[in-house]
A and B are shown apart, each in its own frame.
Chain A
Amino acid sequence: MSNILAIAQKELKSYFVSPIAYALLAIYALISGWFSLIAIANFIEMSMQGQGPADLNGYVIAPIVSNAAVLSLFLIPMITMRLFAEEKRTGTIELLLTSPVTDMEIILGKWLAAMGMYGAIMGIKLLCLSFVFMFGNPDWRPLATAYLGMFLQGGALLSIGMFISNTTKNQIVAGATTFGMCLLFWTFDWATTFKADGWAKVLAYLSLTAHFSSFTRGVIDTKDAIYFISVIVLGIFLTARSLESLRWRA
């Protein structure tokens, strides 16, 4: 366990010494501030048209949260692209793989660090949302489940992104591929617009949107949680296999 933490700590630090972390945080704060502003403006207009204040949860929190999910498609590749690709390019992977730590400790350490970075960014979102609580008294439960959903979804994509980063020495290639993957996972359920059964259903099941939406409605659906956890485990398993095959082929 302490090996995992040592690796996670080193990885997290490396985010914050590079300009990447700050650029990500700044851009994210800007965009999500903008989205929040739109949502709040929209809410105010709705309230003025109708009788009394509109539904805060429906008009403000839900759009902010689903925007956050879309934004994370762009964040994930930036967080995961260097995880292994950079170690392979500079040769530091040799240090990790010849030290008395297991492959799984290395992988979990890196994944935890990625989760930490992702969490930090999501924290900014929470800051924007706290304004809503200052102005009104919305139901906090859908927000809590939405956050849980975002973490699960983020964990799943980070774990796939980590695997992709382990398949190349080039972090730009890793980032671009991961972005493509995220987009695909996000849009699989579009298949159902022109076909409602067979493979379209399978694709729809794989889609992130389908599994994420229940969380934004304040519901924790075990089926959806299991889906995300399976993807996390799959990504970690694939990373472990590819680290092993790096040894055999290298």
Chain B
Amino acid sequence: MIKVEGVTKRYARFTAVDNVSFEVGKGQIVGFLGPNGAGKTTTMRILTCFLPPSEGKASVAGFDVLEQPMEVKRRIGYLPETPPLYPDMEVGEYLDFVGKLKGLRGNDLAKRISETSDKVNIGDVRNKLIAKLSKGYRQRVGIAQALLHNPDVLILDEPTSGLDPKQILETRDLIKGLAGDHTIILSTHILPEVESTCERVVIISKGKLVATDTVDNLTNRMRGSENVGVEVESVEGTLDTKAVQRRLEQVSGVSKVVLREEKNNRANFEVESLQGRSIRADLARAVVEGGFALTELKAAGMSLEDVFLQLTSADQPESDKSEKGESA
């Protein structure tokens, strides 16, 4: 549905987007992830025909953004970083104008306005001045604006930025509900947003593509070896931590066991597996068969946050990396 091939965008001599390629399939919801200044907005502006690429090709639904911008624009709904609202218009009036811009007229227009208003829940503010709306409502009117002509593709630039936690959850749910009918790209610099909303992720940093994969694959790929936290208690009497550690080390597939904490006959170990080995079941059995009580067993897999830091800090100085290693 969306195809970006070797797109580069230069502002004067500064390269904001550098040879980026990725594809988005029909009905997918893709997170476009990167720190501030990574080039997310620039890439989105290229896809929406607001800016032409300096090099490379981008197409939406098979139409090139440079050669057939009208066809592209007809198929795209775009929510820029700041919702493009006219404060001195009423919500209904605004949607009417946007609908006309998108080529809707008459009954179609009225129908789409009421359907969209229901979908994003702004029916109750239709006669309110946009200037008087709360931030959350403005964002929803912004989303309504993008949805109005029922476009195949939705491009949402940081749709949850500046909202309060409750509004963020509402907006994410709304976006998730739109997937399937629409192909969606949403940009964000917040990792949990991608984990909770998107199927796939495209990561860019300093204008360059860092990774593109499904959210699950990416965390798996980065994980490589498994980290498991094991908490053990003695069944009676004092706990022999050395004995526990020895038992854990004997489990096949374990590469390293570290005692993290020991208190009141209870010990916490961090166990690392060999590359690609799953060890949790064996660990549990080993502990129990050794006559100890297993009180907790949890996978300490990498969050997308760790993945992201690891990927984007690859070219950073060593000291920087070890710092991040600790927090991981």
Q: Hey, which bits of chain A sit against chain B, CB under 8 A?
A: 2-3, 6-7, 10, 13-14, 17-18, 90-102, 247-250
Complex alpha-carbon distance, A7 and B98, angstroms: 10
Assuming the A-B contacts A6-B100, A92-B84, A92-B86, are A98 and B70 also in contact, with contact meaning beta carbons closer than 8 angstroms in the complex? no
Q: Hey, which bits of chain B sit against chain A, CB under 8 A?
A: 11, 45, 48-52, 70, 73-74, 76, 78, 80-82, 84-89, 93, 97-98, 100-103, 105, 145
Check if B48 sits within 8 Å of A3, measured CB to CB.
Answer: no
Q: How far is the CB of B319 from chain A (nearest CB, A)?
A: 38
Q: How far is the CB of B121 from chain A (nearest CB, A)?
A: 21
Check if B105 sits within 8 Å of A2, measured CB to CB.
Answer: yes
For A10, list chain B residues within 8 Å (CB).
Answer: 86, 89, 97
Check if A100 sits within 8 Å of B145, measured CB to CB.
Answer: no
Assuming the A-B contacts A101-B101, A248-B52, are A94 and B86 also in contact, with contact meaning beta carbons closer than 8 angstroms in the complex? no
Q: How far is the CB of A88 from chain B (nearest CB, A)?
A: 11
Complex alpha-carbon distance, A92 and B89, angstroms: 13
Check if B88 sits within 8 Å of A91, measured CB to CB.
Answer: no
For A93, list chain B residues within 8 Å (CB).
Answer: 84
Check if A97 sits within 8 Å of B50, measured CB to CB.
Answer: yes
Within 8 Å by CB of B73, from A17, A98, A249, lies: A98
For B78, list chain A residues within 8 Å (CB).
Answer: 94-95, 98
Known: A95-B80, A98-B73. 16 other contacts (CB 8 A): A3-B100, A6-B97, A6-B101, A13-B89, A13-B93, A17-B88, A90-B86, A95-B84, A98-B49, A98-B76, A98-B78, A99-B98, A99-B102, A247-B50, A248-B52, A249-B11
Check if B86 sits within 8 Å of A14, measured CB to CB.
Answer: yes
Complex alpha-carbon distance, A99 and B99, angstroms: 10
Q: 10 tightest CB-CB pairs across the interface, nearest first?
A: A95-B84, A6-B100, A99-B101, A100-B73, A92-B84, A98-B48, A94-B80, A100-B74, A91-B82, A17-B88
Complex alpha-carbon distance, A100 and B63, angstroms: 14
Complex alpha-carbon distance, A96 and B85, angstroms: 11
Check if B101 sits within 8 Å of A94, measured CB to CB.
Answer: no
Q: How far is the CB of B45 from chain A (nearest CB, A)?
A: 8
Check if A14 sits within 8 Å of B88, measured CB to CB.
Answer: yes
For A101, list chain B residues within 8 Å (CB).
Answer: 101
Check if A18 sits within 8 Å of B84, measured CB to CB.
Answer: no
Complex alpha-carbon distance, A108 and B45, angstroms: 24
Check if B98 sits within 8 Å of A95, measured CB to CB.
Answer: yes
Within 8 Å by CB of B70, from A7, A13, A100, lies: A100
